[in-house]
Amino acid sequence: MTRAGWIRIAIVLGAIAALEVVTQAGLVSRHTIIPPTAMAAALWGLIGSGEIMPDITKTLSNVAAAFVLSAGGGFVLGLLIHAAPRLRRALDPLLATYYAVPFFVFYPLLIVIFGMSDLPIIVIGFLFGVVAMIIATLNGLDRVPRVALKVARLSRMDPVSIALLIKFPAATPYLFTGVKLAVAYSFIGVIASEFILSGAGLGFAISYAYNNFDTPRMYALMLFILVSVTAVNMVLHTIEQRMLRRRGLAR
Amino acid sequence: MAGPGTRAGAAHAVLRGVTRIFPPADRGQAPVHALGPVDLDLARGEFFGVVGPSGCGKSTLLEILAGLSAPTEGSVTFEDTEVRGSPPDGVGVVFQEDASFPWLSVWDNVAFGLRRAGIDSAETARRVDHALGFMGLTGFARAYPAQLSGGMRQRVCIARTLVLQPRLILLDEPFGALDQQTRLLMGDELLRLWRDTGATVLLITHALDEAAMLSDRIGVMSARPGRFIDMVATGWPRDRDSTIVSDAAFGEITARLWSSLRAESLKALGAVP
């Protein structure tokens, strides 16, 4: 590992150790924050008992669904918008200001339309991630070398093959930016929606524990979310670095 | 009809009155007359060089011949079939830019066109291995283009064209980005490839010595709109290599190319000749 990597680990471990010391010493009330070791122990207990498994399954499958829809849908929409330059010029300001809209105001509306199910949650996650993916796709497609498209034409490829075998791999470094954002936004959209209006899922479980003053359980669940988001991002980062190294673009 | 670019014999590719006018980019601007009219007969198995000042429409000529763009006027015929804005079978193109796919290994890059053409895997493997061997890339089959030098990547692109066994090979300043020594060596390889495959070759280059060394015949183009203003037959034997640069005739050919081109190059620069 690089020196910067070691420093990074030292900072994270240092922060955890500081929190441990502060909480153990009683400088902060245990009703506010519990020591990290207690969080880990509580999480271990929760997982061991299996009682939060349904919530974990529900949240992670909703996140997965929102991610697949926003990444896949964003790529396809990006391809279509890129193929129609006039439409793109019309949409550009809308795409640029999209994230100024707080989608959660539509959540009640989505519940009216789809009912109290997983669907409005997945739709919120999708709405969050899809535009980031569209923007990344447009960005990547702008940078597909013209000469690669000429080679494709010389091979007499049809538009679908060109999209999948030339444009998609050529734009991959840029698409990855969109994929990482789509993952993050799917997590945010799904878990935040569960907080507001839901009868299950990790977001709901955290808010339930909070309302019942069950501090260890609340922190255990928060820790679980942090660990899973970090794990997913590490996997994505590793894949991305391997791809960039192969292309001589690694930082 | 026998203009300056036509010649008797079995013509492999024929251009007649080929003109390209680009529509104006913005309202109020004039359309750009980039090329022509151009007449050209490429004999089967001929090595034809094209030189001309920058911006004279050389690349436009190549794209029209490759079927990548359509002429505004005139006709292109390859093997007695008209080419019109769609690439015909049997034509391979090597571009100046690095056209290798960075996401594929060298082997997969070279196999790309064969797989698209639906060639079976045993035949694909045989042809790819042969092309890699021919271009001196056997040891790099599993490498990715990013690990190779510019010259090696251009070899990958040539190998990728070569495996498709084109009967007409079009090269658009393929060695433009390479250093002089590498260019001389790549020129030798190109001659070897041309001899071994029997293909017709059209090479666009800005290097007069490169054209003089490689070509059977050289077309000199005018400043925009590009037309052929001179045709120079070199008279080199088919079995030649870069050592002919020391031949007395080589200097004469290069001098003639330059005397035809000098005024045109000045025009292209915007100076008064």
Q: What integer pLDDT is reported at residue B8 of this predicted model? A: 44
Q: B255: left (phi > 0), else alpha (psi -120 to 50), else beta?
A: alpha
Band (pLDDT 50/70/90 cuts) for residue B10 is: low
Dihedral angle at the C-alpha atoms of B212, B87, B112, B214, nearest 10 degrees? Answer: -10
Single-letter residue type at A149: L
Helix (H, G, I), strand (E, B) or coil at A80: helix
Quick one: average pLDDT of B53-62? 85
Interval B254-271: pLDDT, tens? 888 888 888 777 777 775
Single-letter residue type at A211: N
Band (pLDDT 50/70/90 cuts) for residue B1 is: very low
- Out of A131-140, B35-44, B176-185, B206-215, least confident range: B176-185
Rg of chain B on CA atoms, in Å: 19
How many Cβ atoms from other residues are within 10 Å of residue A250's Cβ? 12
List of chain B residues whose C-beta atoms are within 8 Å of the C-beta of residue A170 = 101, 103
Q: What is the DSSP letter of A201?
A: S
Which of A146, A151, A242 has the highest number of chain B CBs within 10 A, making it the mutation to test binding with B?
Answer: A151
Average pLDDT, chain A: 90
**For residue A242, what is the nearest residue in chain B, using CA coordinates?**
B103
Residue B242 confidence (pLDDT) above 60:
yes
List of chain A residues whose C-beta atoms are within 8 Å of the C-beta of residue B93 = 150, 154
Quick one: average pLDDT of A66-75? 95
Separation of CA A206 from chain center? 19
Q: Which residues contact A139 (CB under 8 A, 6 or more apart)?
A: A174, A177
Contact A186, A125 (CB under 8 A): yes
Contact check, Cβ <8 Å, B103/A170: yes
- Binding-face residues of A in 165-204 toward B, CB within 8 A: 166, 169-170, 172
Contact B99, B157 (CB under 8 A): yes
CA–CA separation, A212 vs A216, rounded Å? Answer: 11
CA–CA separation, B196 vs B180, rounded Å? Answer: 24
Q: What integer pLDDT is reported at residue B4 of this predicted model? A: 46
Nearest to A147 among B91, B95, B112 (CB): B95
Average pLDDT, chain B: 85
Nearest to A169 among B86, B103, B117 (CB): B103
Which of A153, A154, A242 has the highest number of chain B CBs within 10 A, making it the mutation to test binding with B?
Answer: A154
Residue B37: asked if its preceding bond is cis (omega within 30°), the reply is: yes
Quick one: average pLDDT of A12-31? 90
DSSP string, chain B: ---TT--SS-EEEEEEEEEEEEPPSSTTSPPEEEEEEEEEEEETT-EEEEE--TTSSHHHHHHHHHTSS--SEEEEEETTEEE-SSPPTTEEEE-SS----TTS-HHHHHHHHHHHTT--HHHHHHHHHHHHHHTT-GGGTTS-GGGS-HHHHHHHHHHHHHTT--SEEEEESTTTTS-HHHHHHHHHHHHHHHHHH--EEEEE-S-HHHHHHH-SEEEEEPSSSB-EEEEEE----SS--GGGGGSHHHHHHHHHHHHHHHHHHHHHHT---
Architecture per CATH, domain A41-246, reads as: Orthogonal Bundle (1.10)
- Does residue B66 belong to the interface with chain A, where contact is any CB pair within 8 Å? yes
Q: What integer pLDDT is reported at residue A69 of this predicted model? A: 96
Which of B94, B112, B116 has the highest number of chain A CBs within 10 A, making it the mutation to test binding with A?
Answer: B116
Rg of chain A on CA atoms, in Å: 22
CA–CA separation, A18 vs A24, rounded Å? Answer: 10
- Does residue B144 belong to the interface with chain A, where contact is any CB pair within 8 Å? yes
**For residue A154, what is the nearest residue in chain B, using CA coordinates?**
B87
CA–CA separation, B16 vs B59, rounded Å? Answer: 17
Q: What integer pLDDT is reported at residue B80 of this predicted model? A: 84
Residue B225: asked if its preceding bond is cis (omega within 30°), the reply is: yes
What is the least distance, in Å, from the CA of A97 to any CA of chain B?
29
Contact A98, A135 (CB under 8 A): no
Nearest to B97 among A145, A153, A248 (CB): A145
Band (pLDDT 50/70/90 cuts) for residue B5 is: very low
Quick one: average pLDDT of A224-232? 92
Question: Do β-strands B11-22 and B73-78 pair in parallel, antiparallel, or remain unpaired?
Answer: antiparallel
Provide the b/e sequence for A117-139 (b: ≥16 CB within 10 Å). Answer: ebebbbbbbbbbbbbbbbbbbbb
The residue behind tokens 């935040």 is A192
Q: What integer pLDDT is reported at residue B223 of this predicted model? A: 82
Quick one: average pLDDT of B61-78? 89
- Binding-face residues of B in 91-130 toward A, CB within 8 A: 91-93, 95, 97-99, 101-104, 112-113, 116-117
Q: pTM of this prediction?
A: 0.78
Q: Where are the domains of chain A?
A: 41-246
Q: Which residues contact A13 (CB under 8 A, 6 or more apart)?
A: none
Contact check, Cβ <8 Å, A248/B116: no
Q: What integer pLDDT is reported at residue B134 of this predicted model? A: 82
Interval B133-154: pLDDT, tens? 888 889 999 999 999 988 889 8
Quick one: average pLDDT of B200-229? 89
How many Cβ atoms from other residues are within 10 Å of residue A62's Cβ? 28
Q: What integer pLDDT is reported at residue B3 of this predicted model? A: 43
- Does residue A249 belong to the interface with chain B, where contact is any CB pair within 8 Å? yes
Which two structure tokens, joined as six digits, stand for A243? 């791809």
Which of B59, B63, B95 has the highest number of chain A CBs within 10 A, making it the mutation to test binding with A?
Answer: B95
From the number of C-beta atoms within 10 Å of its C-beta (0-12, 13-18, 19+), residue A74 rates as: buried
Nearest to A153 among B68, B104, B144 (CB): B68
List of chain B residues whose C-beta atoms are within 8 Å of the C-beta of residue A243 = 103
